[in-house]
Structure 1
Amino acid sequence: MADLAIVNGKLAPTAPNADPEAGTLLINGGRIEAVLPPEEYVAADQIFDAEGLLVLPGAIDIHFHCRAPSFPERGDFGSESKAAAAGGVTTIFEMPISKPCASTTEVWLARRDLAASHAHVNIGLYGAPGRLDRKEIEGMAAAGAIAFKLFTTEAVKGREDEFTGLSVTNIDEIYQALELVRDTGLRCAFHAEDQRLIDMFTARARGLEGPDHFRHLRSRPSVVETTAAAQLIAVAETIDTPIHLPHVSSKSTVDVIRHAKARGAKISAETCPHYLHFTEDILEKIGPYGKINPPIRHEEDREALWEAVREGVIDVIATDHAPFTPAEKEAAWGDILSAPPGHPGVEQLVPLMMDEALSGRLDLFHVVELISTRPAELFGLYPNKGVLRAGADADLTIYDPQSRKIINRQDGFSRGADCNRLYDGMEIQGEVAATIVGGKTVYHGGEIKGSPGDGAIVQPCN
């Protein structure tokens, strides 16, 4: 007898422009044992009646900042993985920023053990290769790092220990780091912004007249991102190793990526819901709460990003979930350049993308690709994750497409939920009905049902 059967639901489409089809999932030992026609009788210890609901492969958020064990007032692996579960996200990839930075095998292993004991969903952990120490890089890879991450910007003043081995601004050191990462077979992600240009434009922005909220974008115009991205692509092509460009925010960077992909460059690209849904004008209302690096930009950038998503130039939608406390954000009113950069978002990823599918603006099959299948493929988790088929992990997002919901930041599970000023008040179609991780229901009916440790530490399987 199976552990769980999910019956009466509509399963995610298996081809572009196809409709969801009725079916039954039989789950045993944390995996999908069979995908059955709806009329076939099943016996299971538990039956989940998904009448009227969509059953999707679990969402994978590949860009996540918890920072644990540092800054527990902002969030920890427990609170932020609860937020992921409530948002229908079954796997998160945690960045290496912490105190100290996860740039050694020892620190990486300590974070892994901490995450494993607190996680309500699966967690993959990035390592930072910027020490240029082959032993440490190979050690993190062997221990199960999901990938590596580097910033091409300097560490934030006063936070140097959080970025040791993560911030590498010299192109010769970036080249060496990529050579070392190439030998592990893993992908390296880059926060791509040019530090010298940031310094120049920030100095200019401080002297500008006009509303304070405009200064953030003026300090980081699109050339800051595009110059860094083009340089990284050139290095990666020379070394012949894959790289990932997170949080792409500008039309000019999209153009660079499009041309690079056309000539066969081994690059993947990601953008975030905040770049797709807003322009810099939102900062007039929410001020420092909307400060994110790279910045939210102009309408032409927003439109170019949507076009890149539709074309497949953008591979993944992820959140760059980065909670802070309201006190930290509030202190920067009138001086947005001093505000900490980041915004919570993991609870909104699935609802926002499903809203696009249910409205007909994006094909549901493509939405599943963007938030589940492609992340799994790019980071070596496919076919264990990102697909509904026999043998895959039973990580599932069950979505109610019928209801309409207004996002209320006070309902959030993230410890930084009160900083959710971007999405607060947005009306969307549908809501997450349940989240299942490894065959166990961890969220259902608006409540966390699981326990700390229900999530597993994930590592590339191929």
Structure 2
Amino acid sequence: MTEFLIYSKRCFINDRFVESTIHIKNDKIHQIYNGYNEHNEIPLLNYNNLIVMPGIIDAHVHINEPGRDTWEGFETATKAAAIGGITTLIEMPLNASPVTTSIKAFKIKQNAAVNKLHVNCGFYGGVIPSNLTDIEGLIKEGVFGIKGFLTHSGIDEFPNVTKNHLEQIAPILKKYNVPLLLHCELSDNNVPKVNNPKSYQEYLLSRPQNWETNAIDLALDIQKRFDIKVHIVHLSASDGIKKILEHKEKTNKLTVETCPHYLYFNAENIPDASPIFKCAPPIREASNNDKLWGFLLEDGFNFIASDHSPAPPEIKQLETGDFFKAWGGISGLQFTLPILYTEGKKRGLKLEKLIPLLTKNPAEFLGLDYKKGILKIGYDADISVWDDTHEFKITEETIQHKHKGTPYLNEVVFGKNIHTFINGVQVVKNSELKTLQQGQFLLNKIT
């Protein structure tokens, strides 16, 4: 169908739920009518009381292709995204090989994704000590931001940068108004000696909150001195909240995200010898995560992203149980919506607050808010239709990721995505993939 109607009593339009009929024509939202509105000879999809909302935009995903597609790849990752109601994702510059730190590598990555995109996909570039002269070229090629690590990234091809490196590229970022995304951990040797590598508490103590807050201080200093956009990825340390709040009062160029796993799990409930839960920075104590929830409920986070970072079982050390040797990353791309909705219900999170954190807000961060992130006439017809009353158990059979290992396995959650539309085409129907390869490459428009 190139022209059809979608009706629901609960369409999320202008930040509230209204009864509407949405007229899709080709790949755009052609018209929005109040209430139920039939048109002769135009097919109508009646979704009754299901939630119809903009497709989710996940602005932090590791797909790992080319070079590490045994970990994940565009084929499986974008299928999982579509099933989960995600219509657009932005791919990080690691852990592919080559990493996206040059124009050549960026083109290799795009070529690797050809005929494998089942949702829309854009890309970030990376900054490492040896590619400072490549940053402007990457920006001109259309990356949505430049990502750097302030501690070891986990792979040797993507070494961390220092304050000096960031100072050198800041004028370029300022020139093009492109955000600097930072993994905010500054490592030091002032941590306990490891006695039991299978102990989650020992792993937690090995990456303390002050690693994050020290890095945040550095990030805020760079932002202030160079007046550039700085984005703090995956905040896990509640000790950083006050610093962030104070800085946000002075500028609108500081943004911050967190991830579902920091809001859903807590350290007290993570068993030893279970590195399926390992990520960096780590999942912290319940008292810390309660403060993250408070920050979220007070509109502190700009958006929420999955930080999907999977790896094969042997690299996750699932047999050995060794937290210190295991890859640090959570596999959860497909389950962002139900995980957040399920825990959010317990915390008093209204859907009117949750939905923009997954749609409108990341679109604004990426500069895609002129065509994505809301249901509006003339915007791309990227739409998620889901049932907030549907309770289900996450099982291996339902997981589209390349590897089935995830800390969310066997969790019972609410909120199932039923239908997904990408650029006006229904790619998921009744929670099953229907039409593939409807995703488009997205490039940042430099102004």
TM range (shorter): over 0.9
SS in 2 for 1:270: strand
Residues 291-348 of structure 1 deviation map (CA, whole Å, 9 limit, x = unaligned) = 1000000112101100111111111111110111122223563531111111111111
**Paired residue for 1:307?**
294
Residues 136-178 of structure 1 deviation map (CA, whole Å, 9 limit, x = unaligned) = 322222222121111111353xx322x1xxx333211121122
**Paired residue for 1:160?**
156
What is the CA–CA distance in structure 1 between the aligned matches of 2:40 and 2:363, rounded to whole Å?
Answer: 30
Q: CA deviation at 1:256?
A: 1.5
**Paired residue for 1:63?**
60
**Which of 385, 390, 406 matches 1:403?**
390
SS in 1 for 2:123: strand
Residues 92-111 of structure 1 deviation map (CA, whole Å, 9 limit, x = unaligned) = 11000111111001111221
**Which of 368, 378, 393 matches 1:391?**
378
Q: CA deviation at 1:217?
A: 0.8
Q: Are 2:23 and 1:26 aligned? A: yes
Q: CA deviation at 1:29?
A: 2.1
SS in 1 for 2:324: helix
Q: Give the alignment of 1:247-258 within 5 angstroms.
A: 247-258=234-245
Q: Give the alignment of 1:410-425 within 5 angstroms.
A: 410-416=397-403, 418-420=404-406, 422-425=407-410
Equivalent residues of 2:123, 2:144 under 8 A apart:
yes
**Paired residue for 2:351?**
364
Q: CA deviation at 1:409?
A: 3.5
**Paired residue for 2:444?**
460
Deviates more, 1:170-179 or 1:28-37: 170-179
**Identity over aligned residues, as a percent?**
26
Name the amino acid aligned to 1:352. Answer: I
What is the CA–CA distance in structure 1 between the aligned matches of 2:434 and 2:301, rounded to whole Å?
Answer: 34
What is the CA–CA distance in structure 1 between the aligned matches of 2:344 and 2:11, rounded to whole Å?
Answer: 14
Larger helix proportion, structure 1 or 2? 1
What is the CA–CA distance in structure 1 between the aligned matches of 2:220 and 2:389, rounded to whole Å?
Answer: 43
Equivalent residues of 2:23, 2:30 under 8 A apart:
yes
Q: Give the alignment of 1:316-331 within 5 angstroms.
A: 316-330=303-317
- Runs (5+) with no aligned partner, structure 1: none
Q: CA deviation at 1:132?
A: 6.7
**Which of 66, 70, 78 matches 1:73?**
70
Residues 191-225 of structure 1 deviation map (CA, whole Å, 9 limit, x = unaligned) = 11103x2x442xx331x469622221111010011
What is the CA–CA distance in structure 2 between the aligned matches of 1:275 and 1:28, rounded to whole Å?
Answer: 40
What is the CA–CA distance in structure 2 between the aligned matches of 1:116 and 1:136, rounded to whole Å?
Answer: 24
**Which of 413, 438, 447 matches 2:423?**
438
**Paired residue for 1:428?**
413
Deviates more, 1:178-187 or 1:57-66: 178-187
**Paired residue for 2:193?**
205
SS in 2 for 1:172: helix
Q: Are 2:211 and 1:224 aligned? A: yes
SS in 2 for 1:12: strand
State the TM-score, normalizing by the size of structure 1.
0.91
- Runs (5+) with no aligned partner, structure 2: none
What is the CA–CA distance in structure 2 between the aligned matches of 1:427 and 1:155, rounded to whole Å?
Answer: 32
Residues 108-135 of structure 1 deviation map (CA, whole Å, 9 limit, x = unaligned) = 1221232242110011100013357566
Name the amino acid aligned to 1:458. Answer: L
Q: CA deviation at 1:91?
A: 0.7
Equivalent residues of 1:154, 1:169 under 8 A apart:
no
Count of residues paired in the alignment: 445
SS in 2 for 1:237: helix
What is the CA–CA distance in structure 1 between the aligned matches of 2:113 and 2:242, rounded to whole Å?
Answer: 38
Name the amino acid aligned to 1:76. Answer: G
Q: CA deviation at 1:51?
A: 1.8
**Which of 138, 162, 167 matches 1:170?**
162
1:6–1:128 CA distance, 2 compared to 1 (3 A) = same
Equivalent residues of 1:358, 1:401 under 8 A apart:
no
Q: Give the alignment of 1:93-104 within 5 angstroms.
A: 93-97=90-94, 98-104=96-102
**Which of 180, 183, 188 matches 1:188?**
180
State the TM-score, normalizing by the size of structure 2.
0.94
**Paired residue for 1:41?**
38
Q: CA deviation at 1:359?
A: 6.0
Equivalent residues of 1:57, 1:386 under 8 A apart:
yes
1:230–1:456 CA distance, 2 compared to 1 (3 A) = same
Q: Are 2:227 and 1:235 aligned? A: no
Q: CA deviation at 1:245?
A: 0.5
Residues 254-296 of structure 1 deviation map (CA, whole Å, 9 limit, x = unaligned) = 2221111123262100001111111112331661111100000
What is the CA–CA distance in structure 2 between the aligned matches of 1:103 and 1:210, rounded to whole Å?
Answer: 33
Equivalent residues of 1:226, 1:253 under 8 A apart:
yes
**Which of 248, 256, 276 matches 1:289?**
276
1:121–1:432 CA distance, 2 compared to 1 (3 A) = same
Q: CA deviation at 1:180?
A: 2.2
Equivalent residues of 1:2, 1:26 under 8 A apart:
no
Equivalent residues of 1:282, 1:290 under 8 A apart:
no
**Paired residue for 2:11?**
11
Name the amino acid aligned to 1:147. Answer: G
SS in 2 for 1:150: strand
SS in 1 for 2:274: helix
What is the CA–CA distance in structure 1 between the aligned matches of 2:429 and 2:267, rounded to whole Å?
Answer: 36
Name the amino acid aligned to 1:160. Answer: D
SS in 2 for 1:56: strand
